[in-house]
């Protein structure tokens, strides 16, 4: 029995395994509104506090990942005759929106996003906040905001330069809003080639689940059969946290911070258990099992 309840009117939640949470965006018009992204943020805020979650799969339950933000429902109603007051209200609205999407990055659990169909505009903001991006071979992407008269303002322009390695292509795609597919997504560095999946959404979701299970595996034995090498939840949480920290800090700052982090993390029973299992023979054939995060 899991401690926390997930889901809501726009989010479907289920547990493919005991430690993998799947959140499926469920909005038929395919576009985001304020209640939708607020619900998404609420779910990821819960993930951060939930010791049962070791990995998250984020996907869409509709025919595509997302067509972007619903401009008819979001933000424009705040524009009024008083430009100063309108500006303050819009600034606060954008900051709240940014914070909501950043909940994905800040949730302290590895987040795997599975992309099918179109992923436009806000969809890019969302997937760049995730840790590992998978897509089906027919997926289409677009940094669409310039076609709506705005610059992308919810994270794409801040995260993509740090997560991709082709500045010229990134600038072209952001300035033209041109639609691109998996091949250019790989060239950009947005998607790894091994995570472009043939066979449609069903194959994509199977690939996502296998990867999530590998990360979230808490025991070397599943139904008495060795499947994956177990991963310490302290180690996976720390790895994500330190990668995120290093993205915004220099090498020396990152090393000093990691030393402080490790001074605490190395005291986890997981380290002792891992060493003991290695000394006893093959870890894969041992009965090594890591405790969940909330258990001492």
126 and 230 fall within a common domain: no
Q: Does 5 map to a domain?
A: no
> How many domains, in total, are found in the chain?
2
227 and 137 fall within a common domain: no
CATH code for position 49:
3.90.226.10
Residue that finishes a domain, picked among 184, 213, 242: 213
Alpha-carbon gap, residue 263 to 121, rounded angstroms: 41
Q: Does 179 map to a domain?
A: yes
What is the average pLDDT across 182-194? 96
182 and 248 fall within a common domain: no
Q: Where are the alpha helices (DSSP H) in 20-82?
A: 34-48
Tell me the pLDDT tens digit for each residue of 202-256.
Answer: 999 999 999 999 999 866 555 444 456 788 999 999 999 999 999 999 999 999 9
202 and 232 fall within a common domain: no
Full residue range of the structural domain in which residue 240 is found: 219-285
For 84, phi then psi, to 5°, come to -65, -50
pLDDT of residue 278: 74
Q: Does 294 map to a domain?
A: no
Q: Does 292 map to a domain?
A: no
Q: Does 290 map to a domain?
A: no
pLDDT of residue 288: 77
User: Tokens 């979701």 appear where?
Assistant: 205
49 and 99 fall within a common domain: yes
CATH code for position 237:
1.10.12.10
187, 165 Cβ separation under 8 angstroms: no
pLDDT of residue 72: 62
Alpha-carbon gap, residue 101 to 122, rounded angstroms: 9
Q: How open is the CA angle 16-20-25, to the nearest 5 degrees?
A: 75
pLDDT greater than 90 at residue 184: yes
Mean model confidence pLDDT for the chain: 87
Residue that finishes a domain, picked among 160, 191, 213: 213
């Amino acid at each position: 029995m899991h401690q926390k309840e997930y889901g809501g009117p726009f989010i479907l939640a289920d547990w493919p395994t005991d430690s993998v949470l799947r959140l499926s965006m469920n909005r038929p018009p395919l576009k985001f509104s304020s209640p939708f992204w607020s619900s998404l943020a609420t779910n990821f805020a819960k993930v951060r506090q939930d010791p049962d979650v070791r990995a998250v799969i984020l996907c869409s339950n509709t025919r595509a990942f997302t067509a972007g933000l619903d401009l008819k429902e979001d933000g424009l109603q705040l524009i009024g005759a008083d430009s100063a007051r309108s500006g303050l209200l819009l600034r606060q609205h954008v900051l709240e929106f940014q914070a909501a999407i950043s909940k994905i990055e800040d949730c302290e659990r590895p987040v795997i996003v599975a992309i099918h169909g179109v992923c436009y505009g806000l969809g890019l903001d969302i997937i760049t906040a995730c840790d590992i991006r998978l897509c089906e071979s027919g997926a289409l992407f677009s940094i669409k905001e310039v076609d709506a008269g705005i610059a992308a303002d919810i994270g794409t322009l801040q995260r993509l330069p740090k997560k991709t390695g082709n500045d010229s292509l990134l600038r072209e795609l952001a300035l033209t809003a041109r639609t691109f597919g998996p091949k250019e997504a790989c060239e950009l560095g947005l998607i790894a080639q091994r995570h472009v999946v043939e066979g449609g959404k069903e194959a994509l979701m199977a690939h996502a689940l296998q990867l999530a299970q590998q990360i979230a595996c808490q025991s070397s034995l599943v139904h008495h059969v060795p499947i994956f090498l177990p991963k310490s939840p302290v180690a996976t949480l720390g790895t994500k946290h330190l990668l995120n920290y290093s993205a915004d800090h220099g090498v020396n700052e990152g090393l000093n911070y990691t030393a402080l982090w490790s001074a605490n993390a190395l005291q986890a029973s997981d380290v002792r258990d891992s060493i003991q299992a290695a000394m006893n023979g093959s870890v894969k054939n041992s009965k090594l099992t890591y405790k969940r995060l909330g258990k001492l």
